Structure 1
Amino acid sequence: MHMPSFQKHDERIVTPSADWLVSAERTLATEIESLKTLRAALGNGLSAPFTKAIETIAQSTGRVIISGIGKSGIIGTKIAATLASTGTPAFFVHASEASHGDLGMITEEDVVVAISWSGETQELASLIAFTRRFRVPLISITSKKDSTLGAASDIVLALPRVEEACPHGLAPTSSTLLQLAIGDALAIALLEARGFTAQDFKVYHPGGRLGASLQHARDIMHTGDSLPLARMGTSMREAIVLMTQKGFGVLGITNELGQIKGVITDGDLRRHISSDFLDRNVEDIMTENPKTISADLLVASALEMINSLSITSLFVVEDSRPVGIVHLHDLLRVGAA
Structure 2
Amino acid sequence: MRTVHVVVPADIDDPARPSGGNAYDRRVCRALPAVGRTVRETAVPGDWPEPGQEARAALLRCLESVPDGADVLLDGLVACAAPDVLAAHARRLRLVVLVHLPLGDEVGLPPAVAADRAARERAALRHAAAVVATSSWTAHRLAEAHGIGADRVHVAAPGVEPAPLAAAEESGTRLLCVGSITPTKGQDLLVEALARIPDRSWTCRLVGPVVRDPAHVATVRELLERHGLDDRVEICGPHTGPALDAVYATTDLLVLPSRAESYGMVVTEALARGIPVLAAAVHGVPETLGRAPDGAVPGLLVPPADVDALAAALRSWLDEPGLRRAARVAARLRRDTLFGWEVTARCLSDALA
Q: For the superposition of Structure 1 and Structure 2, which TM-score range results when normalised by the shorter chain?
A: under 0.3
TM-score by length of 2: 0.26
Larger Rg: 1
